[in-house]
Amino acid sequence: MLASRSEQESCGSRGREPLPEWLLCGSPYEPSTDRDSSMRRNVLALTRALVTLRAEPDPAERRTGVDRALGGVAPTIRLVGTLVLVACVSLARNLAFAWLMLAILLVLCAVRPAHRIAQIVGPAALAALLAFLVNMPAVLLGQASAPVRMTTKTFVTVGYVAGLAQTLGSDGMVAALRGLGLAPQVATVADLALRDIVVLGEAATSLSEALSLRSVGTNKDKTASAAGVMGAVFVRAQRLATARAEAMELRGYGLGWADARMRRRLRGADVAYVLAMAAVVAAFVYLEGAMA
């Protein structure tokens, strides 16, 4: 039934009543001082690592530049060639060969995108700076060229190794190691571990963010609470490993399944890369003999 006119007027009058004072008062919230800079740094470091691990190569990028030429080379041949190059740079008694390899490294970096250059030059520059600081006391002993020598060699070797790891990726590194005779069991464990690192990293990031958000103003030192994050990630890793092992056993997988995709015949790119590495070794022998 429709309400009477008097009831409607009474309801309208009540609707125009002023609000209580306690509803009009503000309630500002000011949390107490809290130190969570360490947790923020941990979360940022984990995020950067996950971005690097989850980054997939761009197909358009592989078709251009030096990555297109190196993409057709077998991972095992590239790994052996990089090890030979690092050994030659380390054994060089003069800087001529190291400067030559440095020039080639800079040319290879120049034809790559900016983010690829940062991923190669960044670790190399950091390692070179550390080598320079470590060898600075040699100047006091009369070895003025030692810091320059070690800095150059460190930058070159770390740069080539970083370029190899950055272009091959986790699957390529496992394939390269499998081609060198790595046991199938070890290759399978390494392959699965690299894939599960991303899952565990995401879990650690989520737990760290939750710890920072739920402990605002409650404790100033969160380093002790961070131990709980490590424990939770360890439990998650144990559960993942158990579930993966049971699933593989139930589906009939053996530990040798990772070696089926690693073998193929030599191609023209492989032969060209071997010839290039032979030229590098010949340059090393010539420069060492000329500078002797």
The residues near 70 (Cβ < 8 Å, ≥ 6 apart) are 78, 167, 269, 273
In one-letter notation, the amino acid at residue 47 is T
Q: Kindly report which listed range (32-46, 55-69, 278-292) carries the lowest average pLDDT score.
A: 55-69
In one-letter notation, the amino acid at residue 133 is L
Q: Are 132 and 151 in contact (CB under 8 A)?
A: yes
| Rounded CA separation 75/264 (Å) | 11
This prediction's pTM: 0.66
The residues near 237 (Cβ < 8 Å, ≥ 6 apart) are 196, 200
Higher pLDDT, 59 or 53: 53
Q: Kindly report which listed range (31-45, 129-143, 175-189, 222-236) carries the lowest average pLDDT score.
A: 31-45
Q: Is the pLDDT of residue 48 over 90?
A: no
Q: How do residues 69-118 score in pLDDT, each as one tens digit?
A: 777 788 888 889 999 999 999 888 888 899 999 999 998 888 888 878 88
| Rounded CA separation 138/132 (Å) | 10
Q: Of 51, 79, 37, whose CA–CA distance to 273 is shortest? A: 79
Percentage of residues of the chain with pLDDT beyond 90: 10
Mean of the per-residue pLDDT values of the chain = 75
Q: Are 74 and 179 in contact (CB under 8 A)?
A: yes
Query: What is the model's pLDDT at position 279?
Result: 92
pLDDT band at 260 (very low <50, low <70, confident <90, very high): very low
| Rounded CA separation 284/101 (Å) | 10
Query: What is the model's pLDDT at position 33?
Result: 59
Q: Are 277 and 84 in contact (CB under 8 A)?
A: yes
Q: Of 291, 279, 245, whose CA–CA distance to 85 is shortest? A: 279
Q: How do residues 150-199 score in pLDDT, each as one tens digit?
A: 999 999 999 999 888 877 776 777 777 777 777 777 777 777 777 777 77
Q: Is the pLDDT of residue 203 over 70?
A: yes
Query: What is the model's pLDDT at position 216?
Result: 57
